[in-house]
Amino acid sequence: MSTHRFILEPYKGVSTRHTCPNCHRQRCFSKYIDTEKQIKFPEYVGRCDHEQKCGYHFTPRDYFEQNPSEKEKFAENSFRSYAPIKEAKPIATSYIDLDIVNQSLRGYPANKLFQFLSAQFGETETLKLMKRYKVGTSKYWDGATVFWQTDNQNKVRTGKIMLYNSETGKRIKEPYNHVTWVHSVLHKEDYNLKQCI
């Protein structure tokens, strides 16, 4: 295993993911850190997870090139390597237990999004759509909706929990944005999320 002094901050929950300075999406930006804890990079030094749509990646090398006085503080070989640590053995993808998924596919009458869509399209049609796309209900917030992230092998990698207004169909953003992830809510240790389309 090769080690580097400057690495992307390892994922340890949503608090380790930040708002991208380029596309301004929340919780998708990884900051670079100094493993020797001698330098704290500015907020814009890091990489956006949305490589295809955003592609923002400001490396420590870029930072040192723009700030030569900072570069002089370190030995020449300190800033040559800045890529993330590469594991010799790949970590297996984590999945959500199908019992949890199936349990969420009940209780639609309490689901705020289901209530809104039922008023628009009728309960029968809405129920058909919710079941077809395996949209679930979460108890995390009363009547919240879960959009499961299922891969091409029908394994569930995570679920996005969002709360909607049953009258307007809009997401609840006050007093805070009601969005979270199932793997975060379940407090699963060492959860290795590999997102899929």
Instruction: Find the helix packing angle between 123-132 and 112-121, rounded to 10°.
Output: 130
Tens digit of each residue's pLDDT (9 = 90 or more) over 54-80: 888 888 888 887 777 776 666 544 544
* Helix spans in the chain (H): 60-66, 68-71, 98-104, 112-121, 123-132, 182-185
**Domain boundaries defined on the chain:** 6-78, 98-185
Collect all residues with Cβ–Cβ distance below 8 Å to 3 and sequence separation of at least 6: 35, 85
Q: Tokens 């809009």 correspond to what residue?
A: 170
Q: pLDDT confidence of 115, banded at 50, 70, 90?
A: very high
**Of 112, 154, 164, 163, residue with least CA distance to 134:** 154
Say what the pLDDT of residue 73 is: 64
- The pTM score is 0.55
d(CA 32, CA 122): 50
d(CA 49, CA 156): 20
pLDDT tops 90 at residue 91: no
d(CA 168, CA 120): 11
Say what the pLDDT of residue 116 is: 97
**Which residues make beta-bridge pairs with 34?**
6
Using an 8 Å Cβ cutoff, are 194 and 151 in contact?
A: no
